[in-house]
Structure formats: structure tokens, C-alpha cells
Structure 1
Amino acid sequence: MGGTGIGTGKVVVNRAMSLDGFIAGRGHEMGWVGEHLTPDTFPEVMAAAGAMLVGRGTYEVAKRMAAQDTPYDGGPQFVLTHEPPDEPDPTVTFLTCGIEEAVATARAAAGDKDLEVLGADVAAQCLERGLVDEILVYVVPVLLGDGVRFTPPSLDRIDLEPLDNTRSGDITMLRFRVRK
């Protein structure tokens, strides 16, 4: 298996996951991700990113983690929410539209690069509507026991085609194409 598909304008669900299937720990705790994964771990993924779409919950968790993380530099950031914050954040665009329009807006901003989708709810909505081209998972060598699952129990079966697996340090990156 090989190839990372840099700059091909795909919609990619991108997430770190514990070996037991959680993308965040209890209370949405994600410090464990930064202990293992940095933007330098897989630089080709950052180079392929043209924009990011997240939900409000993921945005709030990222704000709490901002002091310990390297700033995101993969293009414009979009937050899909029912209620934009009272104090606007000049580093992001808040969208209050439906998921299809949010993906189209963020994808247009990404140009010929990938739109990275983060967050359990937004990713599930994209998967349910057939808007995702690929899923990229960083398997982190940790067991969390509980937390936010990779997908909600309500998500129907989605068939995937393995495309690539790569190891960098103690992280294994898995890439799948969503079969449509």
C-alpha cells in the first residue's frame, strides 16, 4: 500500500484514536494525543490540508488545548454550530447552515487541497450523507477505557477500502477510502 494523495481535494475525516476506539477520553480529555502526535509526525498530511471543518464541541476542546498545541496552519478553519459565540474568533469562520452547505463552503476554501473534518458529530453527519472520500486514523498506543467513541452507535454500516498504512514513531496511520 502506498501514496498519501497530497493535494487531491478530498474530504477526509481525520482523527487520532486510542487502541480501544476512543477519539477523546473522559470529559473530552485529549492531552494524550499531544503526548504522541505532533504536526511533524506525518508532515505530508499537514501539507495536503487546505481547510478544516469542525463542530462546536471540537472547537471548544481545541481552545482549551491551544496553550499546549502547535498552531494549526493548514488553511481556513470553519466551525459548524447552532450558536456562534458572543465574542467572534477572528481565526475561524462560524457556519450555521446545514452539513452539505458547510462542506461545500469549506471545500471551496480548501481549493485543490483536502478538507479535513474533525469531531465526532460533524464527521458522523458527513459520513451519513456520503460526503466523505477518505478516513485517516492515527492509532495511538494508549487504552482509554471510556470517552468519545470513534463513531456514534447510531451510524449505519459504512464499507471502507484500505489504502495505506504507515508508521512514524509509535503512531500507526491508517488511510481508508469510503466506498460509495
Structure 2
Amino acid sequence: MSDVGAGTGKVVVNRAMSLDGFIAGPGDAMDWIAEHVPADAFQDVMVATGAMLVGRNTYEVGKRMAHQDGSYDGGAQFVLTHTPPDEPDPNVTFLTCGLEEAVATARGAAGGKNLEILGADLASQCLQRGLVDEILVYVVPVLLGDGVRFSPPGLDRIDLEPFSNTQSGPITVLRFRVRK
């Protein structure tokens, strides 16, 4: 299922989502994901990923998560932020540039593999500007009722082309191409 072919990786919005459309629960809770999705569940995605571009809030939430131990194995990590932290993280490059430059920088570091985009606001901005090639969603069998939605309000219509849906244990994996 790897997307890496001729050495030109794609920009992929990658996220787990509850059946009712939330990527995080109230208070940015994401423990429900680990309850349903083992860390090594989708190795093909990790192999295809060369770098990750994350929004600052998602980075902070990830730092608080128990399984986040700095040993991410999906390539270089970049965080797009207005204000880098006072204490640098040796495993992360903080970018304060514009969105297009951040995507280009992280994509260059991906070495021909995919660039993963994480974070609702960041992904929404990338989608609005036509910077995303694919969306990969792991639908988790849980209803959260509230939290952070898949996309924030105000996102204009984006047409998608489904190209894969599979079942992996209790998780439904959906893949879409972004129509440009």
C-alpha cells in the first residue's frame, strides 16, 4: 500500500478520526486512539513517510501523550509555529516561515517519500491552498460527542476522489485523492 514510487512523495493529511468526526476529544484528549490503534499497526504508512509537518498545538498535545517518547520513526519532524519554544527539542525543527515555504522545506527533507501533515488547522490551511495530494483517515469505532473536528469551520469545499478503503481489525482505513 506504499505510495512511494518514482521517488516523488506526496503531501498526505494523515489522521485518526472517531465515527462522529473528531480527531481529538474534549481537552485535546487523544488517548482513545491508542486504545484502538496499536503504535505499529500501519507500518506501510511509516515506511512511505519521509517527514512530518505538524501544527504547534498538535505538537504540544503529542508531547503530553504517553507514547510520544521522541522516537518517531517517520523521518524528520517539523513544527510550523509563530513562536518557537524557549527550550528547543533536538528531535524537531521549528519553522516560523510561511505555509508554502514550510511545506516545501519539509517535503525536501522527506527525501522523495511522503510528507505527512498533522493538525486540524494546519491541514485545513494546506487543503485551502491546494498543497495536499491525499487524505488518509483511520476511522476508529468510537463516538466522542465533542472535541476537535476533522476540519475547523470555514473550510471551503474540497472535492475528493476515493481510491481505497480497507478494514484492519476494528479500524476502517479510507484514502482519498484531492481533486485539484
- Bin the TM-score by the shorter chain: over 0.9
2:12–2:134: 8 Å Cα contact kept in structure 1? yes
Deviation string 1:90-148 (CA, Å, 9 cap, x unpaired) is 00000001110000000000011000000001101100000000000000000000000
d(CA) in 1 for partners of 2:176, 2:2: 11
Partner residue of 1:172? 172
Report Cα offsets for 1:5-37 as digits up to 9, x if no partner: 235400000000000000000010000011111
Query: Would the aligned equivalents of 1:42 and 1:168 in 2 still touch at CA under 8 Å?
Result: no
The residue number in structure 2 matching 1:136 is 136
Structure 2 distance, partners of 1:164, 1:120, is 22
Question: How big is each residue's C-alpha offset from its partner over 1:42-66, in whole Å with a ceiling of 9 and x where there is no partner?
Answer: 211111010000010000000000x
Percent identical pairs in the alignment equals: 76
Q: Give the total of aligned pairs.
A: 177
Are 2:3 and 2:114, in contact at CA under 8 Å, matched by a contact in 1?
no
TM-score scaled by length of structure 2:
0.95
Q: How does 1:20-39 map to 2 (within 5 A)?
A: 20-39=20-39
Q: Report which stretch shifted further, 39-48 or 28-37.
A: 39-48
Unaligned runs of 5+ in 1: none
CA offsets 1:72-102 (integer angstroms, 9 cap, x no match)? 2000000000000001000000000111000
**Does residue 5 of the first structure (1) align with residue 7 of the second (2)?**
no
- Matched position secondary structure for 1:78: strand
TM-score (norm 1): 0.95
The amino acid of 1:111's aligned partner reads G
Shift of 1:69: 4.5
Q: Which consecutive residues of structure 2, in runs of 5 or more, have no partner in the other structure?
A: none
Residue 80 of structure 1 is matched in structure 2 by 80
